Amino acid sequence: PRDFLIAPSILSANFACLGEEVDKVLASGADWVHFDVMDNHYVPNLTIGPMVCEALRKHGVTAPIDVHLMVTPVDQMISSFIDAGADMITFHPEASLHIDRSLQLIRDGGCKAGLVFNPATPLSYLDYVMDKIDMVLLMSVNPGFGGQAFIPATLDKLREARARIDASGRDIRLEVDGGVKVDNIAEVAAAGANTFVAGSAIFSAHQADDPNGYDSVISQM
Ligand code: DX5
Ligand code: ZN
């Protein structure tokens, strides 16, 4: 049975009409909304925060909102995003002084929790918290910007993460973020991922034959 989910990263959407962009991408078959939060501190870029998440909820978005925190410290933002209507919240373990506490904070708020691994961050951060994790997110680019090329070493890391998840016997999603395109998504899935973030591949796909939606690109994924 198909258990693949597509989570378009709204980082590459047109922010001047974000509500319509999200409506269109969901109408085109996307499963989640991937929400990239950058603080110009943990990563060298600045994006959107809890007020924008809340605004999407008020706009009528009911799909799961997958909040990827690229901020430090993390705990205040976790609380704010719980209140703003997030469904899952992931953070980078290097950005939290108290990883277990941050994970617990997310779960106590009724959200799914996950850790995000930069290309050179070891999976050993999972060692003592596997029972508090609903999702593992592997970055296949260095975080901060859309439109970068997929780092091939991620494929081996995905296989390693898949083995750890399977060995745990727990229901943990394996998500990949960065440089995922129509032409490499099958290989990424074969390495063990089941949840795919795609930003530029989707939002730059305004084809002449598909002026109002993103159907043609999402249906190829
Ligand atoms: C990068 C973000 C990604 C990014 C992906 O720091 O976490 O979600 O938007 O963009 P693409 O798919 O263009 O690599
Ligand atoms: Zn992301």
Active site residues: 36, 177
The residue whose CA is least distant from atom 10 of ligand 1 is 146
Considering every ligand atom, which ligand is closest to the CA of 12? 1
For the domain made up of 5-219, the CATH class stated in words is alpha beta
**Is this complex's ipTM strictly greater than 0.95?**
yes
Amino acid at 61: V
What per-residue confidence (pLDDT) applies to 216? 85
What per-residue confidence (pLDDT) applies to 26? 97
Within 6 A (CB) of ligand 1 lie 9, 11-12, 34, 36, 68, 141, 143-144, 146-148, 177-180, 197-201
pTM over 0.90: yes
- Whether the predicted pLDDT of 134 surpasses 80: yes
- Whether the predicted pLDDT of 18 surpasses 70: yes
Amino acid at 65: I
| Mean pLDDT of all residues in 28-35 | 98
Nearest to 31 by CA among 202, 204, 207: 202
Cβ atoms 151, 140 nearer than 8 A: yes
What per-residue confidence (pLDDT) applies to 30? 97
